[in-house]
């Protein structure tokens, strides 16, 4: 094997080829088995949404960041909160997950739990430091609970200090969300707890205007004095206007930030519609909206990152120093797919 204490050239190259082959074989094996490698956002989301805590534990043990974002709902903790999966929440927080981490839409785990009415998950999150209130002029967990008609979740959040007059991004109040969705019992609950029926958003709309716009006369009587109701009832229907539609997020003439904001608003509108369909037992229609929402989230995620999609593993070594190998990923130059 040695001549004069030195490796022969043939042996050196045999050693180099063997190591290079082993490195490539390992890379191919990991690529072929996505459950052994670190997951892509779609795989991660699908596994966690199905409750696969065993796979999650393996990924985390392999170095996956506990705040890794899935393709649809957000982080693993957000998915667990959406499901009401306390063991999964325990695991993620024990590995360092941030209970107040926000996804691209500004949603946090507490919002997802509130939307789904996951009472135990809400209590767990509050015990582990979840902020019950959002920043000013941002959607809050209480907005989400009320919009989805989750009266018990709303009461729990209010008992833990939720701002009953919190405003969304366009200034709409929590009470206005209840009016918009026709949740009369929640309207009564919020008014009894001190919600202000006179608040208006940036469009000049308030709870009374929305009640008349959507022909919710019994709610209109709750949010107005008899004189205010009589005055509003005497106005022509056109006075209250039609429901506003969001700008199409894919419109080519929108600046990038406006396009991103429009897409976020479109996703939120679709989520609201999905909740209505699901509550009415229209599972097929809700499933179609799930796919549409997932597609919009993927578009928005792609627009916010600059990562080429295809790469090749290149391994190189010097003939004079075969043990000094270098490996790098060479990416395609065309950028992300459309």
Neighbour-count burial of 299, counting CB atoms closer than 10 A to its CB (0-12 exposed, 13-18 middle, 19+ buried): middle
Q: How far apart are CA 2 and CA 60, in angstroms?
A: 46
| Spatial CA neighbour of 223 closest among 201, 239, 208 | 208
Instruction: Say if 149 falls within a structural domain.
Output: yes
> Into how many domains does the chain fold?
1
Q: How far apart are CA 57 and CA 55, in angstroms?
A: 5
Structure confidence at residue 223 (pLDDT): 97
Structure confidence at residue 12 (pLDDT): 42
Instruction: Say if 307 falls within a structural domain.
Output: no
How many CB atoms within 10 Å of residue 336? 14
Q: How far apart are CA 152 and CA 298, in angstroms?
A: 33
**For the chain, what is the largest distance between any 2 Cα atoms, rounded to a whole number of angstroms?**
108
Instruction: Say if 87 falls within a structural domain.
Output: no
Instruction: Say if 212 falls within a structural domain.
Output: yes
Average pLDDT over residues 267-274: 69
Task: Please provide residue 54's backbone torsions phi and psi, each rounded to the nearest 5 degrees.
Answer: -65, -45
Q: How far apart are CA 58 and CA 42, in angstroms?
A: 17
The CA angle 134-136-137, to the nearest 5 degrees, is 100
pLDDT digits (tens, 9 = 90+) for 157-198: 999 999 999 999 999 999 999 999 999 999 999 999 999 999
Instruction: Say if 57 falls within a structural domain.
Output: no
Instruction: Say if 48 falls within a structural domain.
Output: no
Task: Please provide residue 312's backbone torsions phi and psi, each rounded to the nearest 5 degrees.
Answer: -130, 135
Average pLDDT over residues 251-262: 51
First to last CA, the chain: 55
Average pLDDT over residues 263-291: 67
Instruction: Say if 65 falls within a structural domain.
Output: no
Half-sphere exposure of 233 (CA within 13 A, CB side): 13
CATH number at residue 228: 1.25.40.20
* 167 bridge partner residues: 173
pLDDT digits (tens, 9 = 90+) for 281-314: 567 667 767 766 776 666 666 555 443 444 444 4
- Residue scoring higher pLDDT (233 or 282): 233
The CA angle 221-224-226, to the nearest 5 degrees, is 75
pLDDT digits (tens, 9 = 90+) for 135-150: 999 999 999 999 999 9
pLDDT digits (tens, 9 = 90+) for 45-95: 999 999 999 999 999 999 999 999 999 899 999 999 999 999 999 999 999
Q: How far apart are CA 287 and CA 277, in angstroms?
A: 10
Instruction: Say if 169 falls within a structural domain.
Output: yes
Cβ–Cβ under 8 Å, residues 48 and 79: yes
Residue 141, domain extent: 132-244
Enclosing H/E stretch for 316: strand 311-317
């Amino acid at each position: 094997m040695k001549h004069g204490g030195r490796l022969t050239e043939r042996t050196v190259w045999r050693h180099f080829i063997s190591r290079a082959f082993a490195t490539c074989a390992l890379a191919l094996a990991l690529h072929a088995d996505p459950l052994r490698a670190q997951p892509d956002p779609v795989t991660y989301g699908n596994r966690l949404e199905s409750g696969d805590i065993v796979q999650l534990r393996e990924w985390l043990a392999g170095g996956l960041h506990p705040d890794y974002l899935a393709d649809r709902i957000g982080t693993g903790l957000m998915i667990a909160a959406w499901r009401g999966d306390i063991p999964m929440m325990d695991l993620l927080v024990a590995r360092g997950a941030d209970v107040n981490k926000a996804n691209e839409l500004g949603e946090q785990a507490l919002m997802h739990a509130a939307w789904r009415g996951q009472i135990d998950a809400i209590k767990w999150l509050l015990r582990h430091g979840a902020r019950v209130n959002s920043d000013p002029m941002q959607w809050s967990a209480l907005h989400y609970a009320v919009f989805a008609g989750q009266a018990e979740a709303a009461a729990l959040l209010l008992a833990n200090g939720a701002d009953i007059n919190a405003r969304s991004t366009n200034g709409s109040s929590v009470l206005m969300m209840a009016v918009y969705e026709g949740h009369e019992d929640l309207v009564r609950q919020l008014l009894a707890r001190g919600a202000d029926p006179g608040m208006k958003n940036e469009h000049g709309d308030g709870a009374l205007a929305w009640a008349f716009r959507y022909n919710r006369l019994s709610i209109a009587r709750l949010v107005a004095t008899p004189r205010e109701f009589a005055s509003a009832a005497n106005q022509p229907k056109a006075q209250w206007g039609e429901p506003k539609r969001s700008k199409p997020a894919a419109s080519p003439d929108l600046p990038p930030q406006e396009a991103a904001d429009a897409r976020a608003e479109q996703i939120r509108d679709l989520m609201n519609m999905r909740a209505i369909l699901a509550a009415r037992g229209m599972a097929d229609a809700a499933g179609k909206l799930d796919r549409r929402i997932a597609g919009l989230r993927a578009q928005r995620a792609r627009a916010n990152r600059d990562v080429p999609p295809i790469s090749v593993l290149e391994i190189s070594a010097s003939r004079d120093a075969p043990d000094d190998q270098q490996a790098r990923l060479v990416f395609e130059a065309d950028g992300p797919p459309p």
